[in-house]
Structure 1
Amino acid sequence: MGEWFRWMLVILGLLAVAAALVVVLRLRALERRVGSFSCAVAPAHAPAPSAPPRVGIAHYGVGRLDWYRRWSLSLRADRTWSRSELEVDSRELVPGSQDRYRVRCSYRGEPLVLEMSFPAYAGLTSWLESAPPSDGGVVS
């Protein structure tokens, strides 16, 4: 029983190292893409007011904003918002922060709360305002 058990531990260890390597490489690739920025998605109707936001990376696509969870093995975006249906309603400083904003949005009539730095917020609003006239998002 001892020999095969040691081999199973070695195999499980190698699989864990491989998974960690894939996560780190995925994260580096997402962070280095042009048009990517750190962005957390906060629960709009959190059961508890202190529910933490899900940390991730947003990336501007053609006519859409893709959001990827920071720590994941998935190569697909976790959420995608169409540029024409995304509206920025307001922004406020995240409590206890000097440079992070809580941006209240609506997407297809549903509330959406994003947390990002001021430069990322400026980029988001510029991206929405620069949409073609028939496809523009709204910044209130």
Structure 2
Amino acid sequence: MPDWWSWSAGLAVVLLICVLAPIAWLLFRRMWLSMGHGRVFACSLQRTPTSVWKVGVARFHADTFEWYRVFSLSLRPKVTFRRDQTVVLKVHPAHGGEGSGVFPGHSIVELGPPLAGRSLAMARPDLTAFTSWTEASPPGMKNGRLLGS
């Protein structure tokens, strides 16, 4: 029959695994997101003008902009924007009133229809990449239509 020390040591190991496994998964997830799919950068999301800002990371993947929550265990993006449906309405620097989900020095991007009401917050270099991505068309396409159609 095991003694008290064996039980407590076993319980300590199980608790340690339960604490370290999610942290290791988050690190693996961040590596997986950036492997072969381009750079991953900090990007906060606000779904409606009255909702709170959610801290996340984003990446460009072909004709989509994928947004992932930072503290999620999922490998799937929480929100995906298609290039042909993403319109930048307004860009302005973040003010102190945006809340804790917006990092200092980030710029706010307000999106137009069909994504009206959604806003993104990102650093200036990432904002330049985002606006370039929204204005660009994939090869053979113009304004979401195949050339020659």
Higher mean alpha-carbon deviation, 101-110 vs 68-77, is at: 101-110
Query: Any conservation in 1 of the 2:49–2:118 contact (CA below 8 Å)?
Result: no
Using the size of structure 1 for normalisation, the TM-score is 0.79
Q: Can you list the C-alpha shifts for 1:43-102, whole angstroms capped at 9, x where unaligned?
A: 42325xxx3x21111111121111111122111111111111111100110015873101
| Counterpart residue identity of residue 87, structure 2 | E
Which of 7, 10, 33 is 1:7 aligned to? 10
Identity across matched positions, percent: 23
Choose which of 127, 132, 144 in structure 2 pairs with 1:135. 144
Please say if residues 31 and 37 of structure 1, whose CA atoms lie closer than 8 Å, have aligned partners that are also in contact. Answer: no
| 1:118 and 2:124 are equivalent in the alignment | yes
Kindly indicate whether residue 49 of structure 2 is the aligned counterpart of residue 45 of structure 1: yes
Q: Which residue of 2 aligns with 1:101?
A: 107
Equivalence for 1:27: 30
SS of 2:19's equivalent? helix
- 2:64 matched to which residue of 1? 64
Q: In the aligned structure 2, how far is the partner of 1:28 from the partner of 1:15?
A: 21
The code of the aligned residue for 1:135 comes to: G
| TM-score computed with the length of structure 2 as normaliser | 0.74
Q: Alignment partner of 2:112: what SS?
A: strand
Task: Classify the secondary structure of the residue corresponding to 1:81.
Answer: strand
Q: 1:90 to 1:61 in 2, by over 3 A?
A: same
Q: Which runs of 4+ in 1 moved over 6 A?
A: none
- Separation of aligned partners in 2, 1:99 and 1:13: 37
**Counterpart-to-counterpart distance in 2, 1:16 and 1:63:** 37
> Please, what is the CA RMSD of the aligned residues?
2.5
Task: Give me the whole-angstrom Cα distance separating, in 2, the residues matched to 1:43 and 1:66.
Answer: 14
Structure 1: tracts of 5 or more residues without a match: none
CA distance in 1: counterparts of 2:94 and 2:70, whole angstroms: 20
Count of residues in Structure 1 that have an aligned counterpart in Structure 2: 132
Which has the higher Rg, Structure 1 or Structure 2?
A: 2
Q: Which moved more, 1:37-46 or 1:110-119?
A: 37-46
